Each structure stands twice: as structure tokens, then as C-alpha cells.
Amino acid sequence: MFIPPVPTLHRQGNGVVILDQTALPWQCVERRLATLAAAAEAIASMRVRGAPLIGVTAAHGIALALVSDAPDDAALDHALAVLRATRPTAVSLAWALARMEKRLRPLPIAARREAAWAEATAILAEDAATCEAIGAHGLALLRALPERTGRPLRVMTHCNAGWLATTGAGTALAPIYAARDAGIAVEVYVSETRPRNQGLLTAWELATVSIDHILIADNAAGLLLARGEVDAVIVGADRIAANGDTVNKVGTCLKALAARASGTPFYVAAPVSTVDADAASGEAIPIEERAAEEVLAITGLNDDSFPRRVRLAPESTRTANPAFDLTPAALVSGFITEHGVIAASRLNELPQGAGT
Ligand code: MRU
């Protein structure tokens, strides 16, 4: 079983400790959350990020809320509303909150506090097990790719869908960890993922577990795919519509198009809780629009190795900053889930998804 080098979230008494991802990849900083407000802030400001980890954090946010407030219906409703409003796109958030509500609402008030911790802990443990299963199914796919001569298996990914985005081995990166453990020589093309540069988190993450990787500018992906230098693209997902349309980090769709044009398989790795049965197609999925500042400025280390924010464009420049994009189901070669690799047309046969 893959054990993350640093836990992304763990319980500590009546609080939780997170790895603060806003400090990465420059500093490894843990932060204790003790209140509902702190959990909500951690999700909204992307101290925790990645769909599965957002869900796990939201579940723990409910437990935190019930520690400080009387665990009555009003407190539960308030906590659900506060957490639901943090980020709109990743359906794992709504899925985890619905699961917490279903477990807690019918219980007598006196039993809710302990039950909230127990359910949040179960969600965390299941997430890690799900990642493991995704890794095993993805490994079978990687083994089936055509033999290469003289070079390692090369997988391209986008954004961060690894151990930093979950409580286990990740989603898109889980098959890569499984391949390495199976003795397959593998290297990963990592696109930087402007504007929030989650690709830098992926590079940092892969470095922590000694996986060979090559950081590329987002715009380099098309050329590398066209040259046949990539054996497969694997990305995560924030929400998958019932027809297989996939919403993932902005830039994913361009990779899917380039993969299709070059004949490279393009896989989406995600737990079935990412499938939103209520969204018939991708058009129904809300795309988060984030602050202009993310496009206008960038953070990096200065010559003295201190993180510094610098402005890239005039303050008055207009921006658009959609955080996710929509990849049509037709461009996806298969969905790597904990239940196996399936086609878009069979997503509705999966045992459980989000939605009503
Ligand atoms: O905005 P973020 O960093 O929360 O984005 C989520 C992601 O990490 C990705 O979109 C990812 O590819 C899917 S979630 C494992």
C-alpha cells in the first residue's frame, strides 16, 4: 500500500492537521484546523486542493463544527451550508457532505459528535483504498501498452492528481506508482498548469518518491504528443457527467485533443464518487471562475530562496480565469475507477456515484 511521505490530512485530538499546499513546492508546512471556519478557509484558499482531498476535508469540517457547536440540526445545517459554498466544481465536496448528512441527521443529538469523527475517518480511509484500486487497474492498462525500445514508459499528466490531492496514492498518479513498484521503468511529463501551477506540486510530489519526471510548459504538450514521445496521458477529474464528459483542471481539454490527433490513449482516473448522475452532460457542471490576480501575478523563490510574488501584467489588464475545462467524453479512451477501467457508455452501471 502506498504511504504518502507526509499525510495530507490527519486527525489530532479534536482538530485536524493538514499539509498547507499554498506553501508548496517551496516549504513543507503543516497547519492545524480546529474550527468549521478554518476548514472552510482551507478549502476555499486551496490550502487543501484536489477533488478527493476536498471531500475528505469537508467531512472533517463537519466533525469540527460539531465539536464547538451543540450538534443539533441548526448547527449541522449551518456547517453543511458553509462548506458547500467553498468551491463549486469538484463534486466530491457535495458527495462527502451528503454522506455526512445522511449518517448524522437521523442520529440522536448526543450521538452525532462521535459519529461525525467516525464517518470522516471512514471517508479518509476509503479514499486511500480507492486510490490503491485505481492504481492496480491503471497498472494493467500500462502493461498492455505497446513495447518500447530503448526508453522508459512515458506518461503525461496535467495538474496534480497524486498523493497531494488525496489521502493515498492519488488518482492519475496511482498507476504510475503501481508501475514503479512493479519494476516498470517510467517517467512522467508534468505540465506546469498555469495559473496556480499545480504541476509544480506534481513535480515536488514525484521528487519526494523518486519518480523520474520532466517539467514542461503547458504549451509544449502538443509537440511532444505529436512527436510520439508520450505513451499515454492520464489525468484526474473534478466532476464527470453521466455521459462521460469530464471537467478537470483547465488545460486538460487541449491535451485530450492533442492526444486524439496523435493517436495517444487519453485516460481519466477518478473514483466513482466523481461521477455526477445529476449532470446529464458536461454543460450542466459549474466551472469555477477564480480571481484575476492568479493570472496577473506569479509566486516563486527569489535569489535568497524566499517565496516572492511578482506581477506579470499591468494591474489594469482584463483577465479570464476559468479554473477547469470540459473534455468531451468522445476524447476519453477510458475511465480508470476503483471498479475497473470502463468506457463512458458504461458509467451508469457503476455501483455508486454522486448525485441524487
Ligand atoms: O483547483 P484544484 O487544485 O483543487 O484542482 C483540482 C485538481 O487537483 C485537478 O483538477 C485534478 O486533476 C483532479 S482532482 C484529483
The answer to whether the CB of 233 is under 6 A from ligand 1 is no
Give, for all 356 residues of the chain, the pLDDT tens digit: 999 999 999 999 999 999 999 999 999 999 999 999 999 999 999 999 999 999 999 999 999 999 987 899 999 999 999 999 999 999 999 999 999 999 999 999 999 999 999 999 999 999 999 999 999 999 999 999 998 889 999 999 999 999 999 999 999 999 999 999 999 999 999 999 999 999 999 999 999 999 999 999 999 999 999 999 999 999 999 999 999 999 999 999 999 999 999 999 999 999 999 999 999 999 999 999 999 999 999 999 999 999 999 999 988 899 999 999 999 999 999 999 999 999 999 998 888 666 65
Cβ-contact 55, 123 below 8 angstroms: yes
Catalytically annotated residue among 127, 231, 238, 276: 238
Q: Quote the CA–CA distance of 3 and 136 in Å, as a whole number.
A: 15
Which position has the grid cell 521503468?
Answer: 185
Q: What is the pTM of this model?
A: 0.97
Rg of the chain, C-alpha, whole Å: 20
The answer to whether the CB of 161 is under 6 A from ligand 1 is yes
How many Cα atoms within 13 Å fall on the side-chain side of residue 90? 31
Rounded to the nearest 5 degrees, what angle is found at the Cα of 146, between the Cα atoms of 140 and 147? 100
Per DSSP, 166 falls in state S
Question: Which ligand 1 atom lies nearest to the CA of residue 237?
Answer: 13
Q: Quote the CA–CA distance of 100 and 117 in Å, as a whole number.
A: 10
Catalytic annotation on 303?
A: no
Question: Which ligand 1 atom lies nearest to the CA of residue 288?
Answer: 1
How many Cα atoms within 13 Å fall on the side-chain side of residue 10? 8
Q: Which amino acid residue places its CA nearest to atom 6 of ligand 1?
A: 50
The answer to whether the CB of 236 is under 6 A from ligand 1 is yes
Which CATH number is correct for 135-349, 3.40.830.10, 1.10.4160.10, 1.25.60.10, 3.40.50.10470? Answer: 3.40.50.10470
What is the grid cell recorded at 207?
Answer: 521528487
Rounded to the nearest 5 degrees, what angle is found at the Cα of 38, between the Cα atoms of 14 and 115? 40
Cβ-contact 138, 177 below 8 angstroms: no
Q: Quote the CA–CA distance of 318 and 70 in Å, as a whole number.
A: 46
The answer to whether the CB of 99 is under 6 A from ligand 1 is no
Q: What are the extents of the domains in the chain? A: 9-128, 135-349
**Is domain 9-128 annotated with CATH 1.20.120.420?**
yes
Q: Quote the CA–CA distance of 65 and 78 in Å, as a whole number.
A: 9
Q: Which amino acid residue places its CA nearest to atom 5 of ligand 1?
A: 50
pLDDT in tens, 105-159: 999 999 999 999 999 999 999 999 999 999 999 999 999 999 888 999 999 999 9
CA of 161 to the centre of ligand 1 (A): 6
Question: Which ligand 1 atom lies nearest to the CA of residue 235?
Answer: 12
Cα first-last separation, the chain: 32
